[in-house]
């Protein structure tokens, strides 16, 4: 292997205070890179494509906890429902209901995060703050017994302006607080703020992240 995964992983881990967990984003990277991080004790990995994930699950250690971090089509939920630890980017009630249905079929409860869209970039994905309130106020999520909403996930705009990035994470943090108070005050499990990637995780941690999703800084550039 020509890339020092172990060395880079150690540098990243040294930056994480207690209470911030690392999701090592291994999409597009080969098994040997994941195995190198695994050998250092890393157990949580994140992937964004169902087929790639399926292949990795079949060929890597069974005690890896996989997070699905990409946009998930409802027709793919059934494939990951048997084993996925967390689905991070839920951005519609329709998807939430499908996860509940497939989790029930597997006799399990699946942890999810709701994906916020605050970044100024045009993207189809994620719930705007208004859409988030609407989804929660609608209340039908309360009937879904096989999903557990554990917090929020977001990506900041991909810009160099650190102030803008900080301000977006800060909006996420404020929204989390309000949502927690209004809908999850008694739910200890609603505690996760998944923000921070390779280029902005230090700011994300200062702005209340509990879970960083880091790929490039550990595994190097992805070859698509």
Ligand X SMILES: *Cc1c(COP(=O)(O)O)cnc(C)c1O
Number of shown-chain residues binding ligand X (CB under 6 A): 14
Question: What is the DSSP secondary-structure string of the chain?
Answer: --S-HHHHHHHHHHHPPTT-EEEEE-TT--HHHHHHHHHTT--EEEES-HHHHHHHHHHS-TT-EEEE-S---GGGHHHHTTT-SEEEEE--HHHHHHHHHHHHHTT--EEEEEEE--SSS--S-SB-HHHHHHHHHH-GGGG-TTEEEEEEEE---S-S-HHHHHHHHHHHHHHHHHHHHHH-TT-TT--EEE---TTTHHHHHHTT-SEEEESHHHH-S---
Q: Which is nearer to ligand X, 84 or 155 (CB)?
A: 155
Residue 215 binds ligand X (CB under 6 A):
yes
Residue 216 binds ligand X (CB under 6 A):
yes
Residue 198 binds ligand X (CB under 6 A):
yes
Binding-site string for ligand X from residue 81 to residue 110, where x marks contact by CB under 6 A and - marks none: ------------------------------
Residue 48 binds ligand X (CB under 6 A):
yes
Task: Give the nearest distance from C-beta 181 to ligand X in angstroms.
Answer: 26
Residue 151 binds ligand X (CB under 6 A):
no
Residue 159 binds ligand X (CB under 6 A):
no
Residue 172 binds ligand X (CB under 6 A):
no
Residue 197 binds ligand X (CB under 6 A):
yes
Q: In the range 17-46, which residues lie near ligand X by CB under 6 A?
A: 25, 27
Q: Which is nearer to ligand X, 144 or 156 (CB)?
A: 156
Residue 69 binds ligand X (CB under 6 A):
yes
Cβ-closest position to ligand X: 215
- Closest C-alpha among 190, 200, 206, 196 to residue 154: 196
Task: Give the nearest distance from C-beta 217 to ligand X in angstroms.
Answer: 6
Task: Give the nearest distance from C-beta 222 to ligand X in angstroms.
Answer: 7
- Measure CA of the first residue to CA of the last residue in the chain; give whole Å: 18
Binding site for ligand X (CB under 6 A): 25, 27, 48, 69-70, 155, 197-199, 213-217
């Amino acid at each position: 292997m020509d890339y020092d995964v172990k060395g880079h992983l150690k540098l990243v881990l040294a930056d994480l205070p207690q209470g911030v967990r690392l999701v090592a984003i291994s999409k597009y990277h080969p098994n040997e890179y994941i195995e190198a991080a695994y050998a250092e004790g890393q157990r949580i990995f994140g992937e964004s494509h169902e087929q790639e994930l399926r292949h990795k699950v079949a060929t890597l250690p069974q005690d890896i906890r996989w997070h699905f971090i990409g946009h998930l089509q409802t027709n793919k939920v059934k494939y990951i429902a048997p084993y996925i630890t967390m689905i991070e980017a839920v951005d519609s009630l329709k998807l939430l209901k499908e996860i509940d249905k497939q989790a029930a079929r597997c006799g399990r409860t699946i942890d999810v995060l709701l994906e916020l869209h605050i970044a100024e970039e045009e993207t189809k994905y994620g719930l705007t703050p208004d859409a988030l309130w609407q989804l929660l106020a609608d209340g039908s999520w309360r009937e879904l017994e096989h999903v557990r909403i554990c917090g929020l996930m977001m990506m900041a705009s991909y810009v160099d302006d650190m102030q803008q990035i900080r301000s977006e994470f800060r909006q996420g943090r404020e929204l989390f607080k309000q949502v927690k108070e209004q809908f999850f005050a008694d739910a200890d499990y609603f505690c996760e703020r998944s923000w921070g990637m390779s280029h902005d995780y230090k700011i994300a941690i200062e702005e209340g992240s509990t879970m960083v999703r880091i790929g490039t800084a550990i595994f190097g550039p992805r070859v698509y």
